[in-house]
Protein backbone atom coordinates (compact mmCIF):
# COMPACT_ATOMS: atom_id res chain seq x y z
CA UNK A 1 0.00 0.00 0.00
CA UNK A 2 1.15 3.52 -0.75
CA UNK A 3 1.00 5.48 2.50
CA UNK A 4 1.43 8.92 0.97
CA UNK A 5 1.00 12.31 2.60
CA UNK A 6 -2.33 12.61 0.81
CA UNK A 7 -3.42 9.23 2.16
CA UNK A 8 -2.83 10.39 5.74
CA UNK A 9 -4.47 13.78 5.19
CA UNK A 10 -7.60 12.05 3.90
CA UNK A 11 -7.52 9.41 6.65
CA UNK A 12 -7.08 11.80 9.56
CA UNK A 13 -9.46 14.44 8.18
CA UNK A 14 -12.36 12.03 8.47
CA UNK A 15 -11.73 11.08 12.11
CA UNK A 16 -13.89 13.15 14.50
CA UNK A 17 -12.11 15.28 17.13
CA UNK A 18 -13.60 13.23 19.97
CA UNK A 19 -11.84 10.12 18.62
CA UNK A 20 -8.39 11.67 19.27
CA UNK A 21 -6.42 11.36 22.48
CA UNK A 22 -3.01 12.38 23.84
CA UNK A 23 -0.33 10.67 25.96
CA UNK A 24 -1.59 7.19 25.02
CA UNK A 25 -2.13 5.09 21.92
CA UNK A 26 -5.71 4.30 22.89
CA UNK A 27 -8.13 5.49 25.53
CA UNK A 28 -9.91 2.27 26.45
CA UNK A 29 -12.85 4.15 27.96
CA UNK A 30 -13.66 6.32 24.95
CA UNK A 31 -12.12 4.34 22.08
CA UNK A 32 -10.09 7.41 21.09
CA UNK A 33 -6.57 7.01 19.66
CA UNK A 34 -3.53 9.16 19.01
CA UNK A 35 -2.29 9.41 15.41
CA UNK A 36 -0.15 6.29 15.73
CA UNK A 37 -2.99 4.43 17.43
CA UNK A 38 -5.19 5.27 14.45
CA UNK A 39 -2.50 3.52 12.37
CA UNK A 40 -2.75 0.32 14.40
CA UNK A 41 0.41 0.84 16.45
CA UNK A 42 0.21 -0.90 19.82
CA UNK A 43 2.13 -0.76 23.10
CA UNK A 44 4.85 -3.29 23.92
CA UNK A 45 5.37 -4.54 27.44
CA UNK A 46 9.18 -4.26 27.36
CA UNK A 47 11.90 -2.74 25.20
CA UNK A 48 10.86 -0.49 22.34
CA UNK A 49 7.64 1.09 23.56
CA UNK A 50 5.70 0.48 20.33
CA UNK A 51 4.80 -2.36 17.99
CA UNK A 52 4.91 -0.42 14.73
CA UNK A 53 2.74 -1.25 11.76
CA UNK A 54 3.78 -0.48 8.19
CA UNK A 55 1.32 2.41 8.24
CA UNK A 56 2.73 3.82 11.51
CA UNK A 57 6.28 3.58 10.20
CA UNK A 58 5.29 5.43 7.03
CA UNK A 59 3.70 8.22 9.09
CA UNK A 60 6.85 8.59 11.20
CA UNK A 61 9.00 8.81 8.04
CA UNK A 62 6.80 11.58 6.66
CA UNK A 63 6.98 13.53 9.92
CA UNK A 64 10.76 13.31 9.97
CA UNK A 65 10.87 15.36 6.76
CA UNK A 66 9.43 18.40 8.57
CA UNK A 67 12.07 20.45 10.40
CA UNK A 68 11.28 21.23 13.99
CA UNK A 69 12.73 24.06 16.04
CA UNK A 70 15.48 21.60 16.98
CA UNK A 71 16.15 20.73 13.31
CA UNK A 72 15.78 17.06 14.12
CA UNK A 73 12.46 16.45 12.40
CA UNK A 74 9.01 16.42 13.90
CA UNK A 75 7.85 13.19 15.44
CA UNK A 76 4.34 11.87 15.62
CA UNK A 77 3.96 11.39 19.42
CA UNK A 78 5.31 14.82 20.39
CA UNK A 79 3.24 16.53 17.69
CA UNK A 80 0.09 14.63 18.61
CA UNK A 81 0.49 15.17 22.35
CA UNK A 82 1.58 18.78 22.66
CA UNK A 83 3.21 20.15 19.52
CA UNK A 84 6.62 20.12 21.23
CA UNK A 85 9.31 21.15 18.80
CA UNK A 86 6.94 21.78 15.90
CA UNK A 87 8.32 25.22 15.10
CA UNK A 88 6.20 25.48 11.95
CA UNK A 89 3.83 28.23 13.04
CA UNK A 90 1.33 25.86 14.61
CA UNK A 91 -0.84 27.49 17.24
CA UNK A 92 -3.58 24.87 17.21
CA UNK A 93 -4.27 23.06 20.45
CA UNK A 94 -6.07 19.91 19.29
CA UNK A 95 -4.12 16.79 18.27
CA UNK A 96 -5.98 16.30 14.99
CA UNK A 97 -5.19 19.88 13.94
CA UNK A 98 -1.50 19.53 14.85
CA UNK A 99 -1.20 16.28 12.89
CA UNK A 100 -2.93 17.73 9.82
CA UNK A 101 -0.87 20.94 9.92
CA UNK A 102 2.33 18.91 10.01
CA UNK A 103 1.17 16.75 7.11
CA UNK A 104 0.34 19.86 5.08
CA UNK A 105 3.80 21.23 5.87
CA UNK A 106 5.36 17.93 4.72
CA UNK A 107 3.35 18.21 1.50
CA UNK A 108 4.58 21.78 1.00
CA UNK A 109 8.21 20.75 1.56
CA UNK A 110 7.89 17.81 -0.84
CA UNK A 111 6.27 19.93 -3.53
CA UNK A 112 8.91 22.65 -3.21
CA UNK A 113 11.66 20.03 -3.66
CA UNK A 114 9.88 18.66 -6.72
CA UNK A 115 9.69 22.15 -8.27
CA UNK A 116 13.40 22.70 -7.63
CA UNK A 117 14.33 19.61 -9.66
The pLDDT score that the predictor gives to residue 66 is 84
The 10 Å CB-count burial string (b at 16+, else e) for 1-26 is: eebebebbbebbeeeeeeebbeeebb
Q: CA–CA distance from 116 to each of 25, 47, 111 (Å)?
A: 38, 42, 9
The pLDDT score that the predictor gives to residue 38 is 97
Check pLDDT > 80 for residue 47.
Answer: no
Q: Is 20 helix (H, G, I), strand (E, B) or coil?
A: strand
Determine the average pLDDT of the residues in 49-54.
88
Burial class (CB in 10 A: 0-12, 13-18, 19+), 35: buried
Convert the pLDDT of each residue in 58-112 to its tens digit: 999 999 888 765 555 568 888 888 766 555 555 557 899 989 988 999 999 999 9
Asked if 88 and 102 count as a contact pair (C-beta separation under 8 A), the reply is: yes
Question: CA–CA separation, 97 vs 90, rounded Å?
Answer: 9
Q: What is the pTM (predicted TM-score) of this model? A: 0.86
Amino acid sequence: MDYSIEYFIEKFSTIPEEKWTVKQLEDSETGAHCALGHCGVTQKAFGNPYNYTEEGTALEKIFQTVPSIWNTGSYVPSTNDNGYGMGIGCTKTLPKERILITLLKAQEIRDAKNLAH
